[in-house]
Amino acid sequence: MTSLSRKMLLVFAALGLGASSMSSYVHYKLLTDSSYTSLCDVNPALSCSEAYLSPYGSLWGVPVALAGVIFFVVVLLVAGVGARPTSAARDSAAAYIFALSSIGLAVVVYLAWASFQLRTLCMFCATTYVAVIAIFVISGKATTFPMTTLPRRAVRDLRMLVTSPLALVILLLLVGAVGTVIGLFPRESVTSASAQAPAYPPLTDQQRADLDKWWAVQPKVDLGIPNEGAKVLIVKFSDYMCPACRNTYEGYKPVLGKYLSGGQVRYVVKHYPLEAECNPSAPSNHYASCEAAAAVIMARATGTAQKLEQWIFTNQLSLTPDKVKKAAGDIGGIKDFDARYPSALQEVKADASLGAKVGIAVTPTFYINGRKLAGQSITPPQYFDYLIELALRDPK
């Protein structure tokens, strides 16, 4: 391997490690903080959260982002240590990286296909794709012997590795670190647990003052939805396959429970599925959203809407139209889903039409007495709580 090839491999491995580390951080925050909104969630078509929390966000139980960190760390070690001019394995280093990046390239192709299925692009993910492709090309060109001889060379290098105490320590530390990180990385159950027992710091006087100023200058939109005598009308435009919608569903639940029993606050959920079947104004990247919304509407008649809604959000990552239909029967008591679906879908389309009329660009979007909260203005629960207090003080 030439000095230039080694330097280029180190640069692209470092680039990939940075991007995959950021991806892992965002994925971790999404699983542990129901109020977290990633800076890379620009819109439904450019969203990290959509990718990480989708069924494609993990492979065999390991987050893809975390697997990326492991991949790039190994490439850095092989290129940085194994390819040194004084290393006995320097001639084989490029081939090892080429073999590893061949697997990485296959994963990249799979994830690119997944992005096409989701109709969304993750900026950090795209950066790692570029890094993997570059490493594949560079290491392939730097390999100077037939790959069929690599197994024999690997046996030779493994024997040398066993005789090197430093190399063994590095290997054991790497294996231990990988196992520890994978074991400690939170699973979906952590999200539910943290949402059920939130612990958010109280607002400071300065934060309250800033919210007062922000609230005072927000324009109001007339949604045409009656408040039915309540001082405050909260409207949420939501999609059952939207990770941020699930996060606010869980995170805002204690706040809404605090106010809804008094009759001064009315809370209305409007469906805005990101699926063309029932919402032609939105990109079609959530393939079970229409069925989920329709199922909840049907479940109102059996009094199981809330129970079914909870199930849908809990199983959001694995939703399919068939799974929704089965849950509608098992949990919602809906035995004639297909027959009632067209009628329920009309209500979903009406909600989506209202959302398109007022310019919904991202889910979830909230309106508190006509004042809009969307995208990066979606707030942690304690902020949302205070905004309701402000609306109660001054309903105008």
CATH code for the domain of 315: 3.40.30.10
Same domain, 180 and 227: no
Q: Is the model's pLDDT at 343 over the cut of 80?
A: yes
Same domain, 71 and 27: yes
pTM (predicted TM-score): 0.57
Same domain, 73 and 124: yes
In a domain, 192, yes or no: no
Among 28-37, 75-84, 190-199, 367-376, top mean pLDDT goes to 367-376
Non-local CB neighbours of 336 within 8 Å, separated by 6+ positions: none
Same domain, 228 and 339: yes
Beta partners for residue 373, in sequence order:
366
| Tens digits of residue pLDDT in 109-129 | 988 888 877 667 888 889 999
In a domain, 258, yes or no: yes
pLDDT at 196: 43
Q: Is the model's pLDDT at 44 over the cut of 60?
A: no
Q: Say which residue the tokens 């800076």 belong to.
A: 39
CATH code for the domain of 130: 1.20.1440.130
Q: What's the whole-number mean pLDDT along residues 73-84?
A: 78
| Tens digits of residue pLDDT in 230-245 | 999 999 999 999 888 9
In a domain, 343, yes or no: yes
Domain that holds residue 120: 3-187
Same domain, 89 and 237: no
Backbone φ and ψ for 225, nearest 5 degrees, come out as: -105, 120
In a domain, 193, yes or no: no
In a domain, 109, yes or no: yes
**Residue after which a domain boundary falls, among 187, 212, 238:** 187
In a domain, 96, yes or no: yes
Same domain, 383 and 273: yes
Non-local CB neighbours of 339 within 8 Å, separated by 6+ positions: none
In a domain, 337, yes or no: yes
Same domain, 156 and 263: no
Encode 101-137: b = buried (16+ Cβ within 10 Å), e = exposed.
beebbebbeebeebbeebbbbbbbbbbbbebbebbbe
Same domain, 57 and 162: yes
The angle subtended at Cα 158 by Cα 157 and Cα 164, nearest 5°, is 90
Same domain, 93 and 240: no
Same domain, 175 and 207: no
Q: Is the model's pLDDT at 314 over the cut of 80?
A: yes
**Residue after which a domain boundary falls, among 187, 221, 252:** 187
The H-or-E segment that residue 265 falls in is strand 265-271
Same domain, 202 and 132: no
Q: How many structural domains does the chain have?
A: 2
Task: Classify residue 119 as left (phi > 0), alpha (psi -120 to 50) or beta.
Answer: left
In a domain, 250, yes or no: yes
Same domain, 205 and 298: yes
Q: Are 13 and 75 in contact (CB under 8 A)?
A: yes
**Residue after which a domain boundary falls, among 125, 156, 187:** 187
